[in-house]
Structure 1
Amino acid sequence: MNNPFLSIRDLKVHFSTEDGVVKAVDGLSFDLAKGRTLGIVGESGSGKSVTNLAVLGLHDREHTALDGEILLDGKELLTATERELERLRGNKMSMIFQDALASLSPYHTIGAQIGETYRKHTGASRREARARAVDMLRRVGIPMPDVRVDDYPHQFSGGMRQRAMIAMALVCDPELLIADEPTTALDVTVQAQIMDLLKELQQEFGTAIVFITHDLGVIADIADDVLVMYGGRCVEQGSKKEVLRDPQHPYTLGLLGSMPSLHGPVDVPLSPIPGSPPSLLNPPSGCRFHPRCAFMEKVDGGRCTSLQPVLEVVDGRGTACHLAPGQRRELFADFATARAL
């Protein structure tokens, strides 16, 4: 990718605890260009949110070991000072959190909270900030924004609060937007509205978006590219079409097999992945997915249990698996590409 706006190289985020070191992210790399959306998918505890909190510089550095490289428009973030990060947060990069009600202050109006961000980064007056807040609420589809701007978070529905969060995140026209499962608590209709809104705003602002989710249906709707995380590492990456229609890692195959299809018979049983995600305090040796993998015995020499697979990336398509490409084609042949959304 030429001149990526966000570039992460060999990122490691390790937490010190009383029981030992938690390797929450353990060697992650990816690029993201302006105007594109990267969907990061994986089960809870795979390292999705931890990665993006590192981008924003929101980890407690006293108890967190950060290593690697995070470049935002050429600026290294891991070595940036807190003052430098404060200038970037909300301005050049911003985040939409999963729980809008918990993220908004119950003691201040929606307009005051949106306006505060705008004033901090632009030096605008209170009147200018209020006008900007009204404009942003209008742009995210909140009716009567000149009235609702003076309402408190509890006076908004869940979908409207999430729209207000999006307005706050975009008030300073950030070039990078991180959305951390922003539709998880919403019903399907509101989810679709929020997804359409993000796509419209991206077209308007040219924003680079990192969209974190465990829902492959959401990924199919909004992402251009997909990165699949498991146990703090990337196991597969590529374009949305490549990853969802032609999965190359057993974990990705398992995720797709555990979700209902919109095509074909409705009585096709789901195939959940057996077992549980690994402990990142004491992860399995070799491939971290091997205790749950249905194809481990197909690899010669016990490499799955002893040797960590390397993520091999060719033309943006990457897989970290000991199965040879020919083996994957043969073993995954029963996967019906038509069910891939």
Structure 2
Amino acid sequence: MTSTEQQPFLSVRDLKVHFSTEDGIVKAVDGLSFDLAKGQTLGIVGESGSGKSVTNLTILGLHDRHRTAIDGEILLDGTDLLTSSERQLEKLRGNKMAMIFQDALASLSPYHTVGTQISEVFRKHTGASKRESRARAIEMLRRVGIPQPETRVDEYPHQFSGGMRQRAMIAMALVCDPELLIADEPTTALDVTVQAQIMDLLKDLQQEFGTAIVFITHDLGVIADIADDVLVMYGGRCVERGTKREVLSTPQHPYTLGLLSSMPSLEGSVDVPLNPIPGSPPSLLNPPSGCRFHPRCAFAEKVPNGLCSTERPALDVVDGRGSACHLPLAQREEFFADFAGSRHH
């Protein structure tokens, strides 16, 4: 997003993902665009139900095409994923692109050893022998920091700790050296020490392999640690995007400000109150008209003629920086001006 000299390795354009249900159409993603270059990390942040995971499952082609209406364009190194056949996608999954899921215990088969599961991925995509695949599995377990990989390769997922299972999932995702890695809240269920180790591991592996990473999370603290660029989603739409520094230090959208205001700060006074966002995320079966955030927005009343409730704000992006809000940017900056200072006093 921030690089003008590089062609994006992953390019998503006006993506719409709608599901048919008994209750109606769920507009899970409703017009999303972003770019990602090799060796860069894009953090996608938002509350549960904002469309983060749906976006990335769509990139991998993991939706039931008979019940899902998908429109737009997803280009991976020039290949249009939305027009690719299932056979073409199978060749790409695990080989060119891979995913680390949130719950490693649920994602790993309890009936097969960890080594078998990793080596099978390698065999499928490379045609390697069983011996070569086993050696590769041991090598990957060692690379992700699992002790005694020659022994642990023959153990089952339930014999691994939560942190070790997540490392095994990362080993499986990286066994074929994919160029795109999607990490769907991979540290959510881990304690802070293990979480920090996993984050450091991903950064080290990215530096080694030059992998492009899409990192999904609801935690802005994690975003601050790993992302280069940030995309903030709300109600299936992007409401703000920019570099990590831009988004976290000078938010331009009221929703981003709300997320930051509800986070405890490690600096300044402990007496600074947290300001959670009132209300709940919108139903994507019957989302609010206009700006989807307007029922929860403290600034909607400052926009004349009720525009926030009637008209969808455009996402104006200049040099990779932009936000979707009807309130003029100068006024937003004025209203948000005391935010940074208040977090340190």
TM-score by length of 2: 0.98
Which residue of 253, 268, 273 corresponds with 1:269?
A: 273
Aligned partner of 1:236 in structure 2 is 240
**1:133 CA displacement:** 0.2
Aligned partners of 2:20 and 2:233: how far apart in 1?
Answer: 22
State how far apart, in whole Å, the 2-side matches of 1:144 and 1:337 are.
49
**Shift in Å, 1:338:** 8.1
Matches of 2:116 and 2:285 in 1, distance apart? 42
SS at match of 2:70: strand
**In structure 2, what is the Cα distance between the partners aligned to 1:245 and 1:54?**
31
3-state secondary structure, aligned to 1:228: strand
How many residues are paired up? 340
Amino acid at match of 2:289: S
| Aligned-partner residue type, residue 145 of structure 1 | P
1:80 to 68, 81, 84: 84
CA contact under 8 A between 1:262 and 1:339: conserved in structure 2?
no
Q: Distance in 1 between matches of 2:130 and 2:264?
A: 50
Q: Deviations over 1:265-312 (max 9, x none)?
A: 012110000000000000000000000000001111211010000100
SS in 2 for 1:78: helix
**Aligned with residue 313 of structure 1, among 292, 313, 317:** 317
**1:180-229 alpha-carbon deviations (Å, 9 max, x no partner):** 00000000000000000000000000000000000000000000000000
Identity of aligned residues (%): 82
Question: Which of 152, 159, 170 does residue 166 from structure 1 map onto?
Answer: 170
Moved more, 90-99 or 320-329: 320-329
Structural mapping, 1:13-52, within 5 Å: 13-52=17-56
- For 1:241-260, what aligned pairs fall within 5 Å after superposition? 241-260=245-264
**Counterpart among 135, 138, 141 of residue 137 in structure 1:** 141
- Trace 1:1-341 onto structure 2 (pairs within 5 A): 1=4, 2-336=6-340, 339=343
Q: Give structure 2 stretches of 5+ with no counterpart.
A: none
Following superposition, the deviation at residue 337 of structure 1 comes to 5.7
Moved over 6 A (4+): none
Q: Hey, what's the Cα distance between the residues in 2 that align with 1:301 and 1:207?
A: 47
Letter aligned with residue 298 of structure 2: A
How far has the Cα of 1:262 moved from its partner? Answer: 1.1
CA contact (8 A) 2:272 2:343 kept: no
Counterpart of 1:87 in structure 2: which amino acid?
K
Which string of whole-angstrom CA distances, capped at 9 and with x for unpartnered residues, describes residues 222-264 of structure 1? Answer: 0000000000000000000000000000000000000000110
Using the TM superposition, give the Cα deviation of residue 110 of structure 1 relative to its aligned residue in structure 2, in angstroms: 0.4
Distance in 1 between the 2:169 and 2:27 partners? 31
Q: 2:251 touches 2:257 (CA, 8 Å); kept in 1?
A: yes
Q: Aligned partners of 1:268 and 1:7: how far apart in 2?
A: 40
Question: Within 1, Cα distance between the matches of 2:253 and 2:201?
Answer: 32
1:55 is paired with a residue whose SS is helix
SS in 2 for 1:186: coil
| Distance in structure 1 (CA, Å) of the matches to 2:265 and 2:118 | 40
Contact residue 246 and residue 337 of structure 1 kept, 8 A: no
Helix, strand or coil at the partner of 1:336: helix
Give the deviation of 1:174 after TM superposition: 0.1
CA contact (8 A) 1:245 1:337 kept: no
CA offsets per residue over residues 69-126 of structure 1, 9 Å max, x none? 0000000000100000000000000000000000000000000000000000000000
CA distance in 2, matches of 1:337, 1:14: 41
Cα distance between partner residues in 1 of 2:265 and 2:173: 33
User: Quick check: 1:13–1:64 contact (8 Å CA) kept in 2?
Assistant: yes
RMSD: 0.9
Instruction: Give, as a single letter, the amino acid of the residue that structure 1 aligns with 2:277.
Output: I
What amino acid maps onto 2:132 in structure 1? E
Q: Which amino acid aligns with 2:271?
A: D
C-alpha displacement of 1:339: 4.3
Aligned residues of 2:96 and 2:178 also touching (Cα < 8 A): yes
Q: 1:95 and 1:17 mapped to 2: Cα distance? A: 26
